[in-house]
Amino acid sequence: MPENFISIALAGNPNCGKSTIFNAITGAHQHVGNYPGITVEKKEGFAASDGQSVKVIDLPGTYSLTAYSLEERVARRVLLNERPNVVIDIADAGTLDRHLYLAVQLMEMGIPFVLGLNMMDEARQKGISINLELLSKRLGIPVVPTVGRTGEGVRELLAVACRTAREHAGHPWRPRRLSYGPDLDVALVEMVSLIEKQSFLTALFPARWIALKYLEADSEIIRIGRGADEKTSSALENMVQEVTGHLSQTLETYPEAVISDYRYGYISALLRDGVVSSPENARNRMAFSEKIDKVLTQRLIGPIVMLAVMYLMYKVTFSVGEIPMGWIQAFFGWLAEFVDGIMPDGLVKSLVVSGVIEGVGGLFGFVPLIVVVFLFIAVLDDSGYMARIAYMLDRIFHFFGLHGCSVMPFIISGGIAGGCAVPGIMATRTLRSSKERLATILTAPFFSCGAKLPVFLLISAVFFPERGPLVMFLLTLAGWLVALLIARLLRSTVISGAGTPFVMELPPYRLPTLKGVLIHTWERTFAYIKKAGTVVLAITIVIWAAMTYPRLPAAESAKYASDEEMQMAALRHSIAGRIGVALENVTQYAGFDWRGNIALIGGFGAKEVIVSTLGTAYSLSGNEEENNENLIQRIREDQHWRDNTPAAISFLLFVLLYSPCFMAVVVIAKEAGSWRWGLFSVIFNTLVAFAASVVIYQVGRLL
Amino acid sequence: MMHNTAMPAQAEEHPRAVELKDMAVGESGSVVRICAVGELGRRIRDMGIIPGSRLCVTGRAPLNDPLTIRLRGYTLSLRGSEAAYILVEPD
């Protein structure tokens, strides 16, 4: 053990309040969710207990420590590779027996751990009483009751964990020797003796645990084993095969099932004879949740309420979010004007005003919208309703080759207009199947994210004045339709194959805490602001450069009567302008002229850029707010756009569907694990968008 | 030292056993057999469904699938196609 600090890993099932305990221990800001498996990332925090420094690692919430899901693999790797000094296993006191399944697996691993019995208040309310002393004695480990929400017992839990770490310091892990019945016990003994004799992986894992994992047919451990010592590994595999054959003949079962049966048997033996006593009316909270579910997931009322909730979110986001959005836009408008006034004319000014202030200002303008969207999502998530949405929609999503859990990433991405694909794609980590996850990642950019909204607003203001909300709603629906159809297409072609079990816990409804919701919202918003501050700033500058260089020769620029006309000519002369003009050959079929093309190229950097680029392309300059009105006027009068409704619809669709912005592509590549998928989304989405636009435009012109 | 473990219930002949997916809302029973293997089997057991577990069907999603069951003091949802692997002897 390092002398300076004790490392503690926090383990536990999803929805057991583990994150709340983590916050209480470290004071660190992080998400507390009700959605199974929301914390996939490894989170660390520091704390002190009686002068002892402590490092706490928050493991992903898992039900088990098999190699079933990403979360489980992550949790297990941290335990085995980083070897924390002690584990705190958090269990929901109200559903102790299921939670102990994880504890038993920690015992099998042999890692020192203590049990935190969380949500003792809820358990008490239910009338459940737990004989802590007896439980601790039978488990052979310390048990500390806690209430994460109030912080009750958390200090003591930490102190007990530190004490346990000190007691076990310097000792090797001692796997608990559970019995798994006569057949497996014999096999285990033989396997362990072989493992020890050959020193097979024993530097990495305890021998008995290795044998157990081989019996469980754990793909990850077997892979490591084969890599380390092919011969011993195959000898072990033969032994497993033998006992498997025997079990299947005599009991019609297989080792993995037998092992888990005995684990549960062990748990019920632990809890027997008055460790847990619950009166007949103990199902208080569950009964309460069930009553709510009777209404909220009812055949008819359920979907109506769900749609109403989504529509309400949508409405409130815009009516409330727009107010501070106006302030921020006004501020950046003022800032641009101010800088415009104090700086000498020239390239630097153009870079600062058109590049930096407009680019970053555009992104910050969306912060209020994002705050409201994330506030809603945090409330839905923490209350337990999000899991019900997944439950109600799974039937539909499953049909399209997705998973009920794809709902949340879609909603965050802009399934309710105003999201952002970046956090949306990150939210796909809750999905357990790589195939469904990949399909969700690749289709998330099709939604009406917040950055596309100003374009939609602009174009609707030009062509469909007074009908903006309807256009927005139809585009949101179009996003859903395309995402689902493309998901189905992808799942039956490039990412075909069977899906993952849906088997998902519906956590009891809980009133979200203000603190939890605020932390959650702040974290997501901060991630967005960071994006504004870094990558997007860089890309804005690159795109600014593409739209500025090469510059118009002085002789040329003298020809233009007004500054605005000169700027337009300069834009046409720039790299972006030339590409835009060249692309007209192709994009004419979809009804875009060179101005639209440049704007769309700029939109690859960030979709917000589309509107400001259109502004430049229509030779506007200066104050943004006046500009919007002017731009609407300009586009309305432009000969390309005039009375060209098919071109407008085609442009809207293209903006909705074409290549994800640069930032989203980076995240796609990272989350999908390969740059190939990032590149795929750029090309594939643009092709999809182009196909849709051409069809709409050509059909529209015929009508 | 070996710890005491209860003998798990064995899958014997259960003529009354039905697939979980065919149970009506409100019906309860005891699991007699999990026919799933591999990942699904593991997931089902991880969530506490093993031979001998008591469960009660508490609801169905608006489109009839997935369904929800209550067991071990919590609520679990699973698809009908997955529930088909769980044999239950209704009370």
CATH number at residue B66: 2.30.30.90
Q: Does one domain contain both A265 and A145?
A: no
Give the per-residue pLDDT at A195: 96
Q: Does one domain contain both A143 and A199?
A: no
Contact A266 B5 (CB under 8 A): yes
Domain assignment present for B65: yes
Which position has the token pair 């092709």?
A687
Give the per-residue pLDDT at A39: 37
Q: Does one domain contain both A101 and A235?
A: no
Contact B34 A257 (CB under 8 A): yes
Would you tell me which residues 240-299 of chain A have a C-beta closer than 8 angstroms to some C-beta of chain B?
251-254, 256-258, 260-262, 264-266, 268-269, 283, 286, 289-290, 293-294, 297-299
Give the per-residue pLDDT at A358: 72
By mean pLDDT, which of A225-239, A368-382, A668-682 is the weakest?
Answer: A368-382
Mean pLDDT across A10-30: 81
Domain assignment present for B22: yes
Most A CBs within 10 Å, among B10, B12, B37, B42, to test the A interface:
B42
Give the per-residue pLDDT at A15: 83
Q: Does one domain contain both A14 and A138?
A: yes
Give the per-residue pLDDT at B4: 40
Q: What is the ipTM of this complex?
A: 0.87
Asked if B87 and B19 count as a contact pair (C-beta separation under 8 A), the reply is yes
Kindly indicate the confidence band of residue A346, based on its pLDDT and cuts at 50, 70 and 90: confident
Domain assignment present for A313: no
Kindly indicate the confidence band of residue A33, based on its pLDDT and cuts at 50, 70 and 90: very low
Q: Does one domain contain both A67 and A200?
A: no
Q: Does one domain contain both A57 and A146?
A: yes
Over the stretch A126-152, which tens digit does the pLDDT of each residue have?
Answer: 888 899 999 999 999 999 999 988 889
Mean pLDDT across A343-352: 82
Domain assignment present for A600: yes
- Contact residues on chain B for A286, CB-CB shorter than 8 A: 70, 73-75
Do strands A113-118 and A86-92 pair parallel, antiparallel, or not at all (unpaired)?
A: parallel
Domain assignment present for B8: no
Give the per-residue pLDDT at A283: 53
Distance CA A587, CA A466 (A): 29
Give the per-residue pLDDT at B7: 38
Kindly indicate the confidence band of residue A527, based on its pLDDT and cuts at 50, 70 and 90: low
Helix (H) or strand (E) holding A89: strand A86-92
Mean pLDDT across A336-354: 83
* Closest by Cβ to A66, choosing from B7, B8, B42: B42
Is A220's Cβ below 8 Å from some Cβ in B? no
Domain assignment present for B13: no
Mean pLDDT across B61-89: 93
Distance CA A524, CA A594 (A): 37
Most B CBs within 10 Å, among A34, A71, A72, A98, to test the B interface:
A98
Is the model's pLDDT at B79 over the cut of 60? yes
Kindly indicate the confidence band of residue B2, based on its pLDDT and cuts at 50, 70 and 90: very low
Over the stretch A538-562, which tens digit does the pLDDT of each residue have?
Answer: 777 887 788 888 888 877 777 777 7
| A388 → chain B, closest CA residue | B61
Residue B25 C-alpha, separation from nearest chain A C-alpha, in angstroms: 11
In whole angstroms, how far apart are CA A327 and each of A41, A333, A334, A364, A370? 35, 10, 10, 11, 15
What's the alpha-carbon Rg for chain B, to the nearest Å?
A: 13
Domain assignment present for B3: no
Q: Does one domain contain both A260 and A153?
A: no
CATH number at residue A137: 3.40.50.300
Q: Assign B26 to helix, strand or coil.
A: coil
Q: Does one domain contain both A121 and A56?
A: yes
- Contact residues on chain A for B68, CB-CB shorter than 8 A: 293, 297, 391, 506
Kindly indicate the confidence band of residue A611, based on its pLDDT and cuts at 50, 70 and 90: confident
DSSP string, B35-52: ---HHHHHHHHHTT--TT
Is the model's pLDDT at A14 over the cut of 80? yes
Is the model's pLDDT at A655 over the cut of 90? yes
Asked if A309 and A334 count as a contact pair (C-beta separation under 8 A), the reply is no
Residue B30 C-alpha, separation from nearest chain A C-alpha, in angstroms: 15
Over the stretch B17-74, which tens digit does the pLDDT of each residue have?
Answer: 999 999 999 999 999 999 988 888 999 999 999 999 999 999 999 999 999 999 988 9
Distance CA A36, CA A62 (A): 9
Question: Which two three-digit tokens encode residue A371?
Answer: 């705050």
% of chain A surpassing 70 pLDDT: 92
Domain assignment present for B4: no
Of A616 and A505, the structure prediction assigns the larger pLDDT to: A505
Q: Does one domain contain both A156 and A186?
A: no
Of A27 and A349, the structure prediction assigns the larger pLDDT to: A349
Give the per-residue pLDDT at B6: 38
Give the per-residue pLDDT at A650: 95
Domain assignment present for A324: no
Domain assignment present for A569: yes
Is the model's pLDDT at A648 over the cut of 90? yes
Domain assignment present for B29: yes
Would you tell me which residues 98-117 of chain A have a C-beta closer than 8 angstroms to some C-beta of chain B?
98, 101
Asked if A58 and A44 count as a contact pair (C-beta separation under 8 A), the reply is yes
Give the per-residue pLDDT at A543: 77
Is A391's Cβ below 8 Å from some Cβ in B? yes
Give the per-residue pLDDT at A1: 45
Contact A264 B50 (CB under 8 A): yes
Domain assignment present for A390: no
Over the stretch A181-235, which tens digit does the pLDDT of each residue have?
Answer: 999 999 999 999 999 999 999 989 999 999 999 999 998 899 999 999 999 999 9
Over the stretch A274-332, which tens digit does the pLDDT of each residue have?
Answer: 888 877 655 555 578 888 999 999 999 999 998 888 778 767 776 787 788 788 878 88
Residue B39 C-alpha, separation from nearest chain A C-alpha, in angstroms: 7
Give the per-residue pLDDT at A284: 53
Give the per-residue pLDDT at A622: 47
Q: Does one domain contain both A115 and A230?
A: no
Is the model's pLDDT at A526 over the cut of 80? no
Domain assignment present for A441: no
- Contact residues on chain B for A256, CB-CB shorter than 8 A: 41-42
Q: Does one domain contain both A43 and A161?
A: yes
Q: What is the span of the domain harbouring residue A60?
A: 5-168
* Closest by Cβ to B50, choosing from A260, A297, A394: A260
Mean pLDDT across A429-454: 87
Most A CBs within 10 Å, among B25, B74, B82, to test the A interface:
B74
CATH number at residue A210: 1.10.287
Residue B5 C-alpha, separation from nearest chain A C-alpha, in angstroms: 5
B→A interface, C-beta within 8 Å: 1-8, 10-11, 34, 37, 39-48, 50-51, 58-66, 68, 70, 72-79, 82
Distance CA A251, CA A30 (A): 47
Helix (H) or strand (E) holding A435: helix A434-443
Q: Which residues pair with A57 in a beta bridge?
A: A9, A44
Domain assignment present for A326: no
Q: Does one domain contain both A121 and A164?
A: yes
% of chain A surpassing 90 pLDDT: 40
Kindly indicate the confidence band of residue A514, based on its pLDDT and cuts at 50, 70 and 90: confident
Q: What is the span of the domain harbouring residue B79?
A: 18-90
| B51 → chain A, closest CA residue | A261
Domain boundary among A277, A302, A324: A277
Give the per-residue pLDDT at B25: 93
Is the model's pLDDT at A72 over the cut of 80? yes
Of A20 and A492, the structure prediction assigns the larger pLDDT to: A492
Domain boundary among A607, A623, A639: A623
Of A402 and A430, the structure prediction assigns the larger pLDDT to: A402
DSSP string, A510-539: -PPPHHHHHHHHHHHHHHHHHHHHTHHHHH
Domain boundary among A259, A277, A295: A277
- Number of CB pairs, chain A paired with chain B, less than 8 A apart: 156
Give the per-residue pLDDT at A535: 65
Domain assignment present for A660: no
Kindly indicate the confidence band of residue A482, based on its pLDDT and cuts at 50, 70 and 90: very high
Kindly indicate the confidence band of residue A5, based on its pLDDT and cuts at 50, 70 and 90: confident
Domain assignment present for B71: yes
Mean pLDDT, chain A, rounded, equals 85
Task: Report the domain count for chain A.
Answer: 3
Contact A64 B42 (CB under 8 A): yes
Task: Report the domain count for chain B.
Answer: 1
